Amino acid sequence: MTVSRHPALTLDPVEAAESVDVESDMRSIGETARESGLTVSALRFYDGAGVFCPAWVDPQTGYRWYRTDQLADARLLCRLRRVGLPVAEIRLVLAAPPGSGEAHRVLDRHLRRLEDGLSDARRELSAVRTLIDQRESPMSSSTTRTAATRFTVGAADLAAALDAVRFAAAEDSEHPVLGGVLFDVEGSVLRVVATDRYRMAVSQAAVPALEGPGASTVVPVPVVDGIRALLAGGGEVTLTLDGDRVVLEATAGRRLEGAALEGDFPDYRRLTRIEASHRTDVPASVLREAVAGGACRTVHEGHEIVLLSVGPGGTVGVVAEDGGAGGDGRGPADGTRIAVNRQYLLEAIGAGAPEQLVLETGSPITPLAIRDAGNDGTFSILMPVRLP
């Protein structure tokens, strides 16, 4: 039996999918599921989430019908789901205007997250293997130390990296581990990181030669300053990270050894995964002049706060508090406004003496990233301040 045209007159959704004579360009939810690789329950979920909706829903049975030209998006959705793209970002990909590049930017951000996650997993699994080996050989583990990590790095490269992050180390914190700089070596890269919880600075240097496993050690600021002083001779230096010790061997037989800090350093990889919606290039001198001479507001404990305006046309400046920003932190024409500590911003601008900077912003309540345009691996992150 064939019921004329309307699924509303059928007995139930299952029978409707098999017995209804519908338009040739329409497919039932079951057919769409089979042809796209999605399940029926997944199609219902994405409809409810407003990500992928049917062309028509029967008002009496609630049965969903899809156009033939929706299959391409359904198959794309299936693949995005397989790689774990979050629902909100799937929505952005499907809604992206053709030729805008927005869909590719979403995928690039997700790929970076996956790569960072894989790097984190490898690091953790390496540590787990060491613990398993110690557990399986209890007699040897009590009398032997974990293998030391020894590597060479260019003195000038290490000096530049330390200069780019030293300002962000905490001077007086209830967390002693923040009074140091993290030395994190893996493969051919050494990353150095400092943070006082209100800002974070990251830089890196190439590692031509590495002996031993990857390692992470927090080096106290006085030892960091001592290391920096021995880098003036140029050439290459050798660093050894050996449990609770760090050793630097420089040219002319100069050597420095110090104790590492104990404690868990913040997970900088997770904290630096910023979803920036705007990237703005600006000369460091121009931004420094604008911040130093612009309007500011003094808040608790005497901190000076500036309202940084990042315009959609690439303009950057400091505006007065009454410059017309709405409740969402956006002015009528001059883009996003972010309140930040002026001294912290000036230190981030000057760290490493870059000539050209790239500002990455998302919203007034998300961190501001300040990158060295000539070295994408060197950047600072400032937490925004909520003005009373």
Residue range 275-302: average pLDDT? 82
Number of domains in the chain: 4
Asked whether residue 164 falls in the same domain as residue 106, the answer is no
Q: What pLDDT, in 10s, does the model give residues 121-179? A: 776 776 677 667 667 665 443 333 457 899 999 999 999 999 999 999 998 777 889 99
- Contact 316/309 with Cβ under 8 angstroms? yes
Asked whether residue 333 falls in the same domain as residue 250, the answer is no
Show which of 233, 268, 303 is a domain's final residue: 268
- Structural domain includes residue 264: yes
Q: Interior CA angle at 183 toward 235 and 178, to 5°?
A: 135
Dihedral sign (CA 290, 293, 297, 298): positive
Q: What pLDDT, in 10s, does the model give residues 227-238? A: 999 998 789 999
Asked whether residue 219 falls in the same domain as residue 325, the answer is no
- Structural domain includes residue 1: no
C-alpha 388/C-alpha 385 separation (Å) is 9
Calculate the alpha carbon distances from 335 to 280, 324, 387 in Å: 12, 11, 18
C-alpha 132/C-alpha 163 separation (Å) is 38
- Structural domain includes residue 388: no
Asked whether residue 294 falls in the same domain as residue 252, the answer is no
Calculate the alpha carbon distances from 180 to 97, 166, 206 in Å: 46, 9, 21
Model confidence band, residue 24 (pLDDT cutoffs 50, 70, 90) = low
Asked whether residue 49 falls in the same domain as residue 83, the answer is yes
C-alpha 186/C-alpha 213 separation (Å) is 8
Show which of 95, 113, 131 is a domain's final residue: 95
C-alpha 192/C-alpha 169 separation (Å) is 11
Q: CATH number of the domain at 15, please.
A: 1.10.1660.10
Asked whether residue 49 falls in the same domain as residue 63, the answer is yes
pTM of this prediction? 0.62
Asked whether residue 204 falls in the same domain as residue 221, the answer is yes
Q: Which amino acid is at 172?
A: D
C-alpha 171/C-alpha 74 separation (Å) is 54
- Contact 208/237 with Cβ under 8 angstroms? no
Q: Which of 40-49, 67-76, 105-114 has the lowest mean pLDDT?
A: 105-114
Q: Could you tell me the residue range of the domain that residue 114 belongs to?
A: 102-144
Asked whether residue 291 falls in the same domain as residue 345, the answer is yes
